[in-house]
Amino acid sequence: MPSTTFRIGGDLPVGRLGFGAMHLPTEKPEDRPSAVAVARRAVDLGITLIDTAHMYGNGANEEVLAEALHPYPKDLLITTKVGVVRSDETGEWALNGRPDSLRAEVDQALRRLRVDRLELLQLHRIDPETPLADQLGTLRELRELRDAGKVGRIGLSEVTTAELAEAREVVDIASVQNRYNLTDREHEPVLAACEAAEIAFLPWRTVAWGKAGDRAEVAAVAAELDATPTQVCLAWLLDHSPVMLPIPGTSSIAHLEENVGAADLVLTPELRGRLDGVAGAA
């Protein structure tokens, strides 16, 4: 059976099945109690890795996590992402990898999450308008922030193997967050690079928009295990690689509990082989 824990950066232990907070509702005040309840239930169920970002609600997602969970349990890691900002004039979102912008986002995240240190900070995207060398210089600046005590570990999101390799020449990379699921394995080479370097791989869109049950083989395996197709897809991710840390998201406690149940599924080699053969976009 796959290990249930992983040490991010080699020294920060978390449970391998995490929670993506992106879908927690924050726009309407009447939705906030529901968002708080889901976040608290995640921790009650034993989740120790929660992923958020400045972009999720323009910081509101970070604030709702703080409202729900602060003061945080000692074993809980809340990781956030920076590098995408919203224009005050147009309201549109755009990538911004300039050092001054990233520093400001880090300070805002610290305030919203009510912490003095971000144990894992991830760059949401590499800014295409900034030369890659300059963007990597931004990561070097983030490394300097770490020395100042504001950031513990640095991760990347939606990167290629070449970008990951170049980034690692500048700064230690503790995690990579790329789109990946049973039917969408475009970033398999990136996953392989993470395995070789023991870098945590946090797949997002873990269940292909909830269409896993459309695949006959997935539905068949789910029936044999008395599980749901979603649980089968999450179990496959956990079984597929020891560095895989899925972060399925939801705004529903029922779906959250369903997702957490995937950690208890055991895939036999025969079932694993059948699922390995599932390919193509759902």
SS3 category, 152: coil
What's the predicted TM-score (pTM) here? Answer: 0.93
Q: What is the CA radius of gyration of the chain?
A: 18
154-157 vs 12-15, strand pairing mode:
unpaired
Return d(Cα 194, Cα 72) in angstroms, integer: 29
pLDDT, one tens digit per residue, over 23-55 is 999 988 899 999 999 999 999 999 999 999 999
Q: What is the pLDDT of residue 207?
A: 86
Return d(Cα 126, Cα 116) in angstroms, integer: 25
Question: Which pLDDT tens digits describe the chain residue by residue (282 residues)?
Answer: 678 999 999 999 999 999 999 999 998 889 999 999 999 999 999 999 999 999 999 999 999 999 999 999 999 999 999 999 887 777 788 999 888 898 899 999 999 999 999 999 999 998 888 777 676 676 667 667 666 678 889 999 999 999 999 899 888 999 999 999 999 999 999 999 999 999 999 999 998 755 666 788 999 999 999 999 999 999 999 999 999 999 999 999 999 999 999 999 999 999 999 999 987 544
- 180 given a catalytic annotation: no
- Between vectors from CA 141 to CA 178 and to CA 52, what angle results, nearest 5°? 35
Q: What is the pLDDT of residue 215?
A: 86
Beta strands in 49-123 (DSSP E): 49-51, 77-82, 84-86, 93-95, 121-123
Length of the chain in residues, anyone? 282
162: which 2 tokens? 């070449």
How many other C-beta atoms lie within 10 A of the C-beta of residue 111? 13
Catalytic residue selected from 56, 180, 201, 204: 56
